[in-house]
Chains A and B, each alone.
Chain A
């Protein structure tokens, strides 16, 4: 089955850029997603990229997709303390998403 891997932790200073990485095994996903989960809350869709694209920019967020290496990354520019959360990458089709284990982002003032 599909496997999605993420590093568990990332710590950055406020104002720096954060880069969260993800690798996946299944190439059949039409879209790849980044979700954010704050403590005690459900998941919030941050952004997504169509599998035929290499890059997508959405305000402070930049998604890069390397299909050859099956590598997805999320860059957050000018990271703020409010960005502290767990970030999940996910792939899949229809109503079935396969999630990575999540990367806990800690932003230090």
Chain B
């Protein structure tokens, strides 16, 4: 099975621009989660999508948004970029079973490194 893929791998933008990142989950996985990784704040949860609906959301401003398509592929968008948005953005996919005793193992992609100048 192919792993989680993220495109693009590297991106350079300037302040005020917007950006769209893409994530293709492992075949059969219905849940996609997004995380932001920075040296100062570490790994922070952005949001999770399951069956085209946002199921969980972290504490990020409304400039950060996402969506999921019927084939489970997901995109996240950041509008009005700020210098502090420079980070590695990781996406993870899982089968998506929620709760109970079943582990919902998340498989991570390699990330998109966004640099805002």
**Which A residues have a C-beta under 8 Å from some C-beta of B?**
1, 30-31, 35, 40-45, 48, 50, 88, 92-102
Nearest first, the 9 A-B pairs at minimum CB distance are A95-B48, A42-B108, A99-B43, A43-B108, A95-B33, A96-B56, A101-B42, A94-B98, A95-B31
Interface residues on B, range: 20 to 34
Let me know if B43 and A96 touch, CB within 8 A. Answer: no
B101 within 8 Å of A (CB atoms): yes
B42 & A95 in contact (Cβ 8 Å cutoff): no
* B66 contacts chain A at the CB level, 8 A cutoff: no
Q: Which residues of A contact B105 (CB under 8 A)?
A: 45, 48
Is A97 within 8 A of B45, CB to CB? yes
Q: Which residue of A lies closest to B90 (CB)?
A: A42
Q: A98-B45, A99-B42, A99-B43 are in contact. List 13 more A-B contacts (CB 8 A).
A: A1-B59, A30-B101, A42-B90, A43-B92, A45-B106, A50-B101, A93-B98, A95-B33, A95-B55, A95-B56, A95-B92, A96-B33, A99-B44
Query: A88 vs B70: C-alpha distance in the bound complex, in angstroms?
Result: 32
Cα-based distance from A96 to B42 in the complex (angstroms): 15
